[in-house]
Amino acid sequence: MERDGLERAIAFTQYPQYSCSTTGSSLNAIYRYYNEMGKKPMMKWSTIDRWPTHPLLIQCFADHILKELDHFPLEKRSEVVILFSAHSLPMSVVNRGDPYPQEVGATVQRVMEKLSYSNPYRLVWQSKVGPMPWLGPQTDETIKGLCKRGWKNILLVPIAFTSDHIETLYELDIEYSQVLANECGVENIRRAESLNGNPLFSKALADLVHSHIQSNELCSKQLTLSCPLCVNPVCRETKSFFTSQQL
């Protein structure tokens, strides 16, 4: 990019909700590149580091949920449990002050406000790895628990993913919606479509970039604050890198 003579770069995360382990690590990689090369950037950098409550993002999620609810039997529709499923985090990361859980929760609340709280819902977490404690409740355990208690109409919503990949196409669509659902005796289970190529989602991305450029801001206010118990010194240097840019 610098060889091509670009003068301005925006690090635009495609994760709506910020986590040190996703967006944070990518921003760290940008800082590390310049630090290891021992040079200052020729481009002016800024970042769109989070956007969990952007109105068009919320509208997209709400539209996809309504579309999928229409596929449930009419007499069951109002009792469908909406499970907003997001990638989990180790509790060791959460307890350091990572803002990810609260930002995912903010997205969920805005979506349910848009839906006028039409259905019961929960925020659940998937993709736990290893024996250490992770953020819960886990998506699969929640499905089992709901079925035991008679809630057998379920809509899965990938709330922290904007496009399809293995965690939607395999984990949600096959492991949970087919294998686990059959084992538990689920009556109806569906998964809301990911945002993928939704034109309204593309409009949201364009609006985010346009608003960011117009604002002349380097990053969000949240990015200037390190996790209270951060253990990675690079994070502090990365924040300094982005907040010291001159646009």
85-115 per-position pLDDT tens digit: 999 999 999 999 999 999 999 999 999 999 9
Indicate whether 47 and 115 sit together in one domain.
no
Residue 1 is assigned to a structural domain of this protein: no
Handedness of CA 166, 84, 104, 216 (dihedral sign): positive
Asked if 35 and 150 sit in the same domain, the reply is no
For 143-181, the pLDDT digits (tens) are 999 999 999 999 999 999 999 999 999 999 999 999 999
| 70 and 186 belong to one structural domain | yes
Whether 69 maps to a domain, the answer reads yes
- In the predicted model, is pLDDT for residue 202 greater than 90? yes
- How far is 135 from 146, CA to CA, in rounded Å? 19
Cis peptide bond upstream of 73, omega within 30: no
Tell me: do 37 and 88 sit in the same domain: no
Mark whether 175 and 211 lie in a shared domain: no
Tell me, yes or no, whether 81 lies in a domain.
yes
> Using CA atoms, how far apart are residues 93 and 239, in angstroms rounded to an integer?
18
- pLDDT value, residue 140: 98
Is position 109 within any domain? yes
Task: Quote the domain boundaries for residue 133.
Answer: 55-191
Mean pLDDT computed over 3-32: 97
Q: How far, in Å, CA of 12 to CA of 9, rounded?
A: 9
Q: How far is CA 76 from CA 116, 165, 188, 218, in A?
A: 18, 30, 9, 48
Task: Verify that 74 and 176 share a domain, yes or no.
Answer: yes
Is the residue at 110 inside a domain? yes
**Residue from 158, 74, 82 nearest 117 by CA:** 82
Q: Per the structure, how many domains does the chain have? A: 2
Do residue 61 and residue 171 come from a single domain? Answer: yes
- Catalytic one among 54, 64, 87, 212? 54
Contact 171, 126 (CB under 8 A): yes
Has residue 117 been placed in a domain?
yes
Q: What is the mean pLDDT of residues 188-192?
A: 98
| 175 and 226 assigned to the same domain | no
Q: In angstroms, rounded to a whole number, what is the distance separating the alpha carbons of residues 218 and 212?
A: 8
Q: Which two tokens stand for residue 210?
A: 């346009």
In terms of domains, do 186 and 209 share one? no
How far apart are the C-alpha atoms of 16 and 49, rounded to whole Å?
A: 8
54-93 per-position pLDDT tens digit: 999 999 999 999 999 999 999 999 999 999 999 999 999 9
Residue 16 lies in a domain: yes
Residue 125 bridge partners (DSSP) = 86, 138
Are 239 and 128 members of one domain?
no
193 has pLDDT over 90: yes
The Cβ-side half-sphere exposure at 224, using a 13 Å CA radius, reads 7
CA 130 vs CA 25, 73, 90: distances in Å: 21, 38, 10
Percentage of residues in the chain with pLDDT exceeding 90? 99
Contact 188, 153 (CB under 8 A): yes
Q: Are residues 67 and 177 in the same domain?
A: yes
Same domain, yes or no, for 36 and 128?
no
Q: What is the pLDDT of residue 200?
A: 98
* Residue of 160, 60, 51 lying closest to 114 (CA atoms): 60
pLDDT of 195 reads 97
The per-residue pLDDT for range 236-245, each reduced to its tens digit, is 999 999 999 9
User: Would you say residue 211 lies in a domain?
Assistant: yes
Q: Is the pLDDT of residue 247 over 90?
A: no
173 assigned to active site: no
| pTM of the predicted structure, to 2 decimals | 0.95
CATH of the domain at 237: 3.40.50.1400
Domain endpoint, select from 191, 208, 234:
191
Angle between helices 233-243 and 23-37 (to 10 degrees): 80
Task: Give the residue from 55, 191, 155 showing the smallest Cα distance to 111.
Answer: 55
Q: Which of 70, 165, 207, 212 is catalytic?
A: 207
pLDDT for the residue 185: 95
